[in-house]
Amino acid sequence: MRIISLTGVIGLLLPGLLAAQDFSGVVVKIADGDSMTVLTTQSREIEVRLADIDAPERGQPFADRARQALGELVFQKTVEVRFNDADTYGRIVGRVYTEKIDVSAEMLRRGLAWVYRSYVRDQSLFAIETEAREAHRGLWAAREEPIPPWEWRRNARPSAPGPGQVPMQFTCGSKQYCREMASCEEARFHLRQCGITTLDGDDDGVPCENICRSR
């Protein structure tokens, strides 16, 4: 999750949304263990990324359990989103609260997420992660040391281009179908950045599942 300035992302956000504000709404979709879609009281759907934590990526152990746990906490419930930042996908990054539950803290408490070292602002969350680890809850019950998702993503990326090779770059407007996608990364770019929603036929946030589910 790369963070950019508000001015750099404002064009990606929904029209009329004053992004640097707290807001509330009902959660209508769970993308993964740290991402959701909130339907605001103004009937706008806003993609929200939980601040300060990083849940297992799809393909990692406990990814499905993390997504399920987040759904149990917030799906079809009214939440308050406290604005933190915005990321390069146009999502609001914020702390989410429902029924007096701090969702980021609760995911850590259940052992289904890590404190996101590169972006954490709330240092008190480290104590919650440590307590879950020592109690062997969630992913901390695994026999092998779990791999943090930021390391998993780095290892899953294509290797750097060799001499004379051109780095892969994606642009909108050239492709619209899964059969045209060379990788999951390209499919995600076209879904999130270009708005090609037909790539996500079952509306679960995962484009071209024959490519992305096999990773």
Identify any residues that bridge with 85 across adjacent strands, giving them in sequence order: 93
Find the DSSP H helices in the chain: 6-9, 63-74, 103-109, 125-134, 149-156, 184-192, 209-212
In the set 91, 95, 109, 192, the catalytic residue is 91
Q: Which residues contact 172 (CB under 8 A, 6 or more apart)?
A: 190, 193, 194
The verdict on whether 49 is a catalytic residue reads yes
In the set 49, 109, 110, 192, the catalytic residue is 49
Residue identified by tokens 């036929």 is 201
Instruction: Locate 150 and state its tokens.
Output: 């930021």
Beta strands in the chain (DSSP E): 3-4, 23-32, 35-40, 45-50, 53-54, 78-87, 92-98, 101-102, 114-115
In the set 47, 57, 106, 129, the catalytic residue is 57
Nearest Cα residue to 57 out of 119, 117, 146, 182: 146
One-letter amino acid at 84 equals: N
The verdict on whether 57 is a catalytic residue reads yes
Active site residues: 49, 57, 91
